[in-house]
Amino acid sequence: MLLLLLLLLLVLLLALAARWRASWSNSHWRRRGICGPQGCPLLGNMALFALGQRSYGEVYAQIYREHPGLRYVGFYRLFNEPALLVRDERLLREVLVGSSFACCADNAVNVDAQRDVLASCNPFIASGDRWRKLRADLVPLFTPSRLRQTLPHVAAACQQLRPFVERRLIRERFEAKALATRYTLQVIASAAFGLDAHCLCQDEQQEQGSEWLEWLVPLFQPSAWSLPETIALLHSSRLASILQHRYVPLSLQHWLCDLVRTSASANSFLRWLGEQQGSDLAGHATTLLLEGYETSAMLLAFALYELSLNESVQRRVHAELTEVAKRHGGLLLGHAALAELRYAEATLLETLRLHPAMQALQKRCTKSFTLPAQRWDTDTETDSSLQVALGTVLVLPVQAIHLDPQLYAEPLKFQPERFMDASPGLGCRFLAFGAGPRMCPGMRLGLAQTKAALVTLLQDYSVHLADQRQPPVQVSPLTFLTASKQGIWLQLRKR
Ligand code: HEM
């Protein structure tokens, strides 16, 4: 009996201690005089994300919207981790481009370098001097002259896309992301490795043997594992090691290493990298492949979707490409013609405003620095400034910024005209490619390959919803990179 009582007492004490600990960590910001939402035990302010109900971008957007008077908000990520969500455009600039960059340059992602040897060569994942070295290796691949040398790979894939669509998709509903992934894999296999990925074959049998489709199509697709993997990647290195999570699965790592050994024909990224002393070929090949296909495929799929919803925009894209084609003898895939397709490019930027591939950038403080007072109406020089502690995550809520009516009038409307005159990088209002020293180095290539496919399709077809009564496309709440929940179902009609 006494033993039972003691046991009950112990359980009670443990429960009280856990409760006290939770409320102590949940008062982290209150104790520092920083405003923000009250978190719940363990899940902080991200319960809906942890339950697979909302994407992390939507959760951050809600916190952003609910605190209009603040430059930044103190809140709690999963596992009650205190974090700061930055709202002020000037502060965003400070963190991404300005004097605070050196204090929070690293992306807050958990990838184990031992388990994930190839993924850890990605500059997005690396930190410090290693990041500088890896990025310096890759940047020369994306100069304007290298981009021109890469365009023939893009044009070749577009030439395969045309008959593929003609034979397989015309008059049939199709899933736009699946088609776009075939195309971007075809481009990147050719541009990076000098190989034919057989993703856009006329011959269905040959295509069925495409290892590229087999290995890479499932990698970013939402599945039962997506949520724990996203949580491990963004919130918990402990969970990552319990799950033994690999961003690039081991079998894919082996396949990639074999590929690097057997390829590298002239005029490919690998050949150019091979000419550089000491560059890590297999690691860089993995980066180029993974960064090169998924984000651009998602962009192409969402752009086709937005055009199917916005007929007047589609008419204007059609008019522009007819006019530019006239000046270039019907050919739109050369460097000069692509550069003249400014409205088509604005359409892609507007698509990324509404559907950014990364719904938030998340940076970790590696050197303590000071933020000004939290409230807009407080003098920045007063002593209500905040000393950001080492290890704190700063969330830059891309999706919320892109949908802020103070920054974009009628933010839910699809209006490419917004980007016709403005340079997208200005003022850190457009963060689909990040900004500053860590900004996406492949932006020009990503836009060029997507634009080339878009105009190839629209030269011959108009694009429509597969079913006029279908509900709007929903974003998966489970994945790190934006993905659609049920696919993007469209139809093409001959013009
Ligand atoms: C539409 C297509 C693309 C989008 C929307 C996109 C978006 C992004 C974003 C948001 C980042 C993170 C920036 C930051 O941390 O502040 C990034 C980083 C990166 N992207 Fe892209 N990207 C695209 C295409 C590409 C392509 C085609 C390549 C190369 C083949 C590429 C290579 C990289 C690399 C290497 C990084 C890491 C840079 C660093 O941390 O220094 N991206 N991208």
For 32-56, write each residue's pLDDT tens digit.
999 999 999 899 999 999 999 999 9
Beta strand extents in 109-152 (DSSP E only): none
Q: Which backbone phi and psi does 33 adopt, to 5 degrees?
A: 75, 25
Whether 469 and 426 share a structural domain: no
User: Does residue 442's CB lie within 6 angstroms of at least one atom of ligand 1?
Assistant: yes
| pLDDT at residue 203, rounded to an integer | 73
Per-residue pLDDT, averaged over 386-404, amounts to 97
Instruction: Say whether both 98 and 125 belong to one domain.
Output: no
* The two structure tokens encoding residue 392: 């704190």
pLDDT score for 81:
95
Same domain? For 187 and 214 the reply is yes
User: Which of 110-114, 260-264, 470-474, 486-490 is least confident?
Assistant: 260-264
Nearest to 450 by CA among 202, 236, 188, 189: 188
Average pLDDT over residues 191-197: 92
Rounded Cα distance between 136 and 131, Å, is 8
332 touches 459 (CB < 8 A): yes
- Residue 369's pLDDT band (boundaries 50, 70, 90)? very high
Q: Which atom of ligand 1 is nearest to the CA of 293?
A: 27
User: Which residue from 122, 186, 363, 433 has its CB within 8 A of the most atoms of ligand 1, so it is best to mutate?
Assistant: 433
Q: Are residues 366 and 245 in the same domain?
A: no
**Ligand 1 pocket check for 487: Cβ under 6 Å:** no
pLDDT given for residue 384 in this prediction: 77
Residue 436 falls inside a structural domain: no
Match 């007063």 to its residue by tokens.
382
pLDDT band at 259 (very low <50, low <70, confident <90, very high): confident
pLDDT attached to residue 202: 76
Provide the pLDDT for residue 17.
56
> Which of 5-14, 15-24, 164-173, 390-399 shows the highest mean pLDDT?
390-399
Q: What is the pLDDT of residue 352?
A: 98
Tell which one of 120, 188, 291 to mutate to probe ligand 1, the residue whose CB is within 8 A of the most ligand atoms: 291
In a domain, residue 385? The reply is yes
Alpha carbon separation from 189 to 45, 216, 250, 338 (Å, rounded):
41, 11, 20, 22
Clarify whether residues 156 and 236 are in a common domain. Answer: yes
Is pLDDT above 60 for 16? no
Ligand 1 pocket, 292 CB below 6 A?
Answer: yes
**Inter-residue contact 248 to 212 (CB < 8 Å):** no
What gap in Å lies between CA 63 and CA 73, rounded to an integer?
8
* pLDDT above 60 (res 381): no
Q: What would the 3-class secondary structure string for 233-297 be?
A: HHHCHHHHHHHCCCCCCHHHHHHHHHHHHHCCCCCCHHHHHHCCCCCCHHHHHHHHHHHHHHHHH
480 three-state secondary structure = coil
- Taking residues 383-394, what's their average pLDDT? 91
Q: Is the CB of 41 under 6 A from ligand 1?
A: no
Whether residue 92 has its Cβ less than 6 Å from ligand 1: no
Beta-sheet pairing, 81-86 with 393-396: parallel
Q: Is the pLDDT of residue 31 over 60?
A: yes
Q: State how far the Cα of 63 lies from the Cα of 45, in Å rounded to an integer.
A: 9
The answer to whether position 448 is within a domain reads: no
Examine residue 455 and state whether it is found in any structural domain, yes or no: no
Domain limits at 173?
118-310+318-344+463-495
Residues 6+ apart with CB under 8 A from 349: 416, 419, 424, 430, 432
Q: Residue 91: count other Cβ atoms within 10 Å of its Cβ.
A: 20
Question: For position 211, which CATH number holds?
Answer: 1.10.630.10
- Is the distance from CB of 45 to CB of 37 less than 8 angstroms? yes
Q: Dig out the tokens for 395 from the structure.
A: 């969330």
Proportion of the chain above pLDDT 70, given as a percent = 91
Strand, coil or helix: 122: coil
pLDDT in tens, 100-149: 999 999 999 999 999 999 999 999 999 999 999 999 999 999 999 999 99
